[in-house]
Each structure stands twice: as structure tokens, then as C-alpha cells.
Amino acid sequence: MALDEALLEAAPSLGPVLRFYSWTEPAASFGYFQKYAEVETMTQLRPLVRRPTGGGVVPHDADWTYSLVFPPDDPWYDLKAVESYRRVHEWIQTAFRQLKIATELAACCRKALPGQCFAGYEKLDVLWHGRKIAGAAQRRTRHGLLIQGSVQPPPIKLSRADWEQAMCDAARLKPGFKWQAFAPEAAFHARVAELAANTYSQPAYNRRR
């Protein structure tokens, strides 16, 4: 979470960034505006960490998590939230299609019990055989746009590395666009460490609402 916030702060000088990451233990993240007292009754997963984006409780264990960051001068930044949500999930659809896995975007919603993010779905979530396998949350600031997403891979033989490569290959951000490895300077690493130590690891931050 600290790294994603640091990426958002640095977005004007970075350009678009796609980050893949995983979890070292079962956990749950919850939306920036949620109340901790309600969240802790929704899931037995621990630890709980407040995301810098909105949305609800998301379980993390075997899921594939990613982040996207866009600077204010990128056309994606000017999209309305619903269109941004649609576009990122169309991107995921295209990646799965390259892996010969058919998915669809939910035309409507199916409610689930609080805290069971992947038991139901919202409009434009990614579905596989009627089951939600991808959702996302967003945050827009003067620095840029941050999208945090979770993919629950379908129960078929599928390599995470192949999916990540398909995501990179499926990007259609601008003509001639090419990804390159992100090599941050020491100041960026220091900012991540500061946010991790003083914000996201602090009970007072996670419980402040």
C-alpha cells in the first residue's frame, strides 16, 4: 500500500506504471473510507490494511494483485470513474482472451454479504462462467490516478507469469507504447519506507475511522 501511494505521488514524473505484486500471508484490504469497526466483523482474515483507494473489503491469499498509475496529463486520468473501471476490466478481458480464456463484463450486479467481495459482483466486474474473478478500486488526486485491482484466477491450469505477460502485451495505451523496467531512485525507496513505517503499519491509521 505504501508503494502504491508513493507511485501516485510520483506519477507526474513517471508516466503510466503497471505493478504486479503478491501477498506473503492471508490478509484483507479495505477501502479508504470504510469504518474499521465494521470491517473487522466482515472477515476473519488478519491482518487488515486500509487501502489508499476506495471500495470494500477484499480478501488476499492466492489472488493476483496489480496496480496502475496514470499522471494527470494521460488521457486515462480524464475518464469518468465508471469508464476507467470499464477500460481496466476490458484490458484484463483481452489478456485472458490471449490465453484462450473467455470472460465477460457483468451487465448488472449481484449482491453478496458484506465482506464477501468475490461472492457477488458489481456492474463491469470481470466474470468467468458467471463468477466474479476481477474487481478494482480507484483514487484520483492532483498527482494522478491510482487503480488497485485483484484477480481471483479461474480454477484451471494457468500460470501467473503468463497472465502478467498477457497483461503487458494487451496494453493499448498509445501508439508505439512499450513497457520498460521501473528503476526508482533512492529517494523513492525512502518515501515508501516512510509511508510503510508511519502510516500503513500503524494501528492508529487503519483504525482511524
Q: ∠190-147-150 over CA atoms, to 5°?
A: 100
Max Cα-Cα span within the chain: 48
What type of residue is 112?
Answer: A
Query: Looking at this protein, which amino acid is placed at residue 201?
Result: S
CB 145 within 8 A of CB 77: yes
Cell triple for 9:
505521488
User: Pick the catalytic residue: 108, 109, 117, 168?
Assistant: 117
Q: Kindly report the three-state secondary structure assignment for every residue of 133-167.
A: EEEEEEEECCCCEEEEEEECCCCCCCCHHHHHHHH
| Active-site residue flag, 117 | yes
Round to whole Å and give the CA distance between 110 and 132: 10
CA distance 113 to 54: 18
Active site residue ranges: 117
